[in-house]
Amino acid sequence: MSRYRNLSLFLLLAAVWGSAFMAINAGLAYFPPVLFAAIRYDVAGVVMLAYAAYVVDDPVPRGRGEWTLVGVGAVLLIAAYHAFLFIGQTDPEVTSAVASVTVGLSPVLTTVFARAFLPSERLTVLGVAGLLVGLAGAGVLAAPDPANLAAGGTVAKFLVFLAAASFALGSVLTRALDVGMEIETMEAWSMLFGAAIMHVVAVGLGESMAAIVWTTDALLALGYLAVFASGFGYLVYFRLLDRLGPIEINLVSYVAPVFAALSGWLVLDEGLTPNTIAGFLLICCGFLLVKRAAIRDELRRRGVVS
């Protein structure tokens, strides 16, 4: 039962985070980028702190270890990841699909960081092959133009790459710093401190509240990102991180582009192309390669294979 629950949560997280790239692009029409990310986590942090106060006996971090964990989450998983991502997505060359594909590098980067900080985390040759196949599928889904890879948007794409690296390193370090802290407490305080860091960065970049255009669409984008993609999404992420480890949970970055494409089709009336279908199939094949042992064990348990 726990396997099915984990799979359901995994797919739900991929759907929420995949559609978040579309919401980010929609909101950037009304908000300066880093300020947009900061306000998103102002709201999400307050919501999650209230939730933590409700479900946790002591919702305040205690001791150096817990505050270190909060600091890692605030700097890497919240501030660095979202500041780089939001700034990168302001460039017209970085579409929602391109951003989600670049963030799809997180599982590969996580493997590299895990080898340094978590010796027990390993991938077999077939597992590495699965990651590469999934990444190839994400690339097909984005349909990049090889002639323009080093042209327009190069700096912006590199910023999104830095976002993926920040998230991968943060996920590994939070696992390595296992101090027994409640997920809700860690998430809430990381969001609040991460938002504070981004407000400072926004001021340094000259961003101002006066530049925000408050419309219904702006509020919908902000609300979706703050409540669903941030509050709910990170709660699911950290629960799965604890159960699955950083390599497996970051495979969500491979599945998210599928939902980014589907949400674009449903909400923005974007067509589903042959590249979308081919990319989806490659991503599925990559995921099956990585999870082949768990799938084989489940089939044996059910008597489907011997």
Mean pLDDT by 10 residues, the chain (306 residues): 74 90 91 96 91 84 88 94 93 78 74 66 69 72 56 73 88 80 86 96 95 94 90 80 69 80 72 66 73 65 57
d(CA 293, CA 134): 17
The DSSP code for 210 is G
Number of other residues whose CB lies within 10 A of the CB of residue 26:
19
Q: Looking at residue 92, what is its pLDDT? A: 76
The DSSP code for 75 is I
Provide the whole-model pTM.
0.80
Distances 247 to 106, 140, 292, 297 between C-alpha atoms, Å: 9, 22, 15, 19
Q: Looking at residue 77, what is its pLDDT? A: 92
Start-to-end Cα distance in the chain: 21
Q: Looking at residue 136, what is its pLDDT? A: 76
Domain that holds residue 272: 2-302
- Identify residue 249 by its one-letter amino acid code: I
Q: Looking at residue 38, what is its pLDDT? A: 96
Count of structural domains, the chain: 1
